[in-house]
Chain A
Amino acid sequence: ELKVEQNPLFLSMQEGKNYTIYCNYSTTSDRLYWYRQDPGKSLESLFVLLSNGAVKQEGRLMASLDTKARLSTLHITAAVHDLSATYFCAVDSYTGNQFYFGTGTSLTVIP
């Protein structure tokens, strides 16, 4: 079974600071996805990364994918309180028939 690990699991950061969330996965895949979940809410798709070296940015969030290292990063620039949420990465299997979520990173941005 493909394993997807995120770190850190919990992150508390001050407004205005930068930080990176890491997502490692255990098998070959070119496709990685980032989601956001607010407490008690559903999931919202943030980024779809479909090739090695893919980089996507939306506002203060930037995601990248290194398929050789089996690593994706979600970089937060100048954090604001509205970014407080849990962030999940996910990978679909090499066969494309299964979808595995990471453990999630709970982000709290402190004013």
Chain B
Amino acid sequence: DAGVIQSPRHEVTEMGQEVTLRCKPISGHDYLFWYRQTMMRGLELLIYFNNNVPIDDSGMPEDRFSAKMPNASFSTLKIQPSEPRDSAVYFCASSPGTGFTDTQYFGPGTRLTVL
């Protein structure tokens, strides 16, 4: 298995632009998680899905952030409009049937820089 796949690996954009991050979870995994890592705030859970349904999005920082999972093999995290403070590494992770209590497998991350 190729593991969790994220694209792009690096994204540089200007303030005000729309940014879309993509994630392909491990086949057969029922849970998908989006995290953000910054020096100031550390690692934060943004949102997670179970069987393509969003379960908790209380970690999404603002309405500018949205996430979708249209099918079991694809999820997107969108920021519109982007701001410099959104600069971070965004990780996607997936896990089998029991969510948090099962091992989470992380993707390589997308490093986002908003100028």
A residues with CB within 8 A of B: 31, 33, 41-45, 48, 50, 88, 90, 92, 96-104
Residues on A with C-beta less than 8 A from B102 are: 48
Asked if A48 and B58 make an inter-chain contact with CB atoms under 8 angstroms apart, the answer reads no
- By the criterion CB–CB under 8 Å, are B59 and A98 in contact? yes
Q: A97-B56, A99-B45 are in contact. Are A31 and B101 (CB under 8 A)?
A: yes
The 8 Å CB contact of B91, one of A43, A90, A92, A104, is A43
Task: Tell me which residues across on chain B come within 8 A of A44, comparing CB atoms.
Answer: 106
13 A–B pairs (Cβ distance < 8 Å), ordered by A: A33-B104, A45-B104, A45-B105, A48-B102, A90-B43, A96-B99, A97-B56, A97-B58, A98-B45, A98-B56, A99-B48, A99-B100, A104-B43
Chain A residues within 8 Å of B107, by CB: 42
The interface residues of chain A lying within 8 Å CB-to-CB of B99 are 96
**Does B115 make an interface contact (CB < 8 A)?**
no
Contacts between chains A and B (CB distance < 8 A), count: 49
Q: Are A98 and B103 closer than 8 Å at their CB atoms?
A: no
CA distance in complex: A88, B42 (Å): 10
Instruction: Give B58 Cβ to nearest chain A Cβ, in Å.
Output: 7
Bin the interface of chain B by size: 20 to 34
Q: Would A42 and B108 count as touching, CB distance under 8 A? A: yes
Residue pair A98, B106 in contact (C-beta under 8 Å): no
For the complex, is B25 an interface residue (Cβ under 8 Å from A)? no
Distance in angstroms between the alpha carbons of A88 and B91 in the assembled complex:
15
Contact A50:B101 (CB < 8 A) given known A42-B91, A97-B56: yes
* Bound Cα distance A88, B37 (Å): 12
Which residues of B, 4-60, contact A by the 8 Å Cβ criterion?
Answer: 33, 42-45, 48, 55-56, 58-59
Q: B19 to nearest A CB, angstroms?
A: 20
- Chain B stretch 48-91: residues in CB contact (< 8 A) with chain A: 48, 55-56, 58-59, 91
Q: How far is the CB of A3 from chain B (nearest CB, A)?
A: 11
> Nearest CB to that of A95 among chain B residues?
B56
**B101 and A103 contact, CB distance less than 8 A:** no
